[in-house]
Amino acid sequence: MISVIQRVSQARVVVAGQTVGEIGAGLLVLLCAERDDSQAQADKLLAKLLKLRIFTDAGGKMNHSVQDMDGQGQGGGLLVVSQFTLAADLSSGNRPGFSSAAAPEDGRRLYDYFVRQARLLHPQVATGEFGADMQVHLVNDGPVTIPLTCR
């Protein structure tokens, strides 16, 4: 699975003029399932991002995860957005190919699994809408943007 993790002070997803998912401070997770990905990769990616220490402590060092970002165990939000375009292949020209992305039904299955698991492990999880034309609004905090892949 491929993801891009952005530390945000706020983020929301709009579909057809309606906000479908929104968080305050936390992580925006752009998520892509690739062919042959499994629930094991989803579990590994989720475990890594929940423990990723990219929130600052009182000393200004990146020392807290989204689960303990305020240093007192009060976690921030996760906004999980499906984005198959992370699997773009530009090796054969200027028009991206997406043959390494999971088929839509497999992508939806893994996305739904990832979100279910995230909700079991983290108290605040919002989502976009799989397969929809979405507008993602965010305020990147830092900015901090990290690509994270689990194979």
Active-site option among 83, 117, 127, 130: 83
149 tagged catalytic: no
* 8 A C-beta contact, residue 6 and residue 66: no
In angstroms, the CA 65 to CA 48 distance is 10
Nearest CA to 100 out of 115, 82, 85, 81 is that of 85
* 8 A C-beta contact, residue 23 and residue 124: yes
Structure token digits, residue 63 = 């020392």
Q: β-strand 77-82 against 125-127: which pairing, if any?
A: parallel
Active-site option among 19, 39, 74, 85: 85
67 tagged catalytic: no
Residue-wise burial string across 98-134, b where 16 or more C-beta atoms lie within 10 A, e elsewhere: eeebbeeebbebbbebbbebbeeebebbbbbbbeeeb
Active-site option among 55, 84, 114, 130: 84
Structure token digits, residue 2 = 């491929």
Give catalytic residues, as residue numbers: 83-85
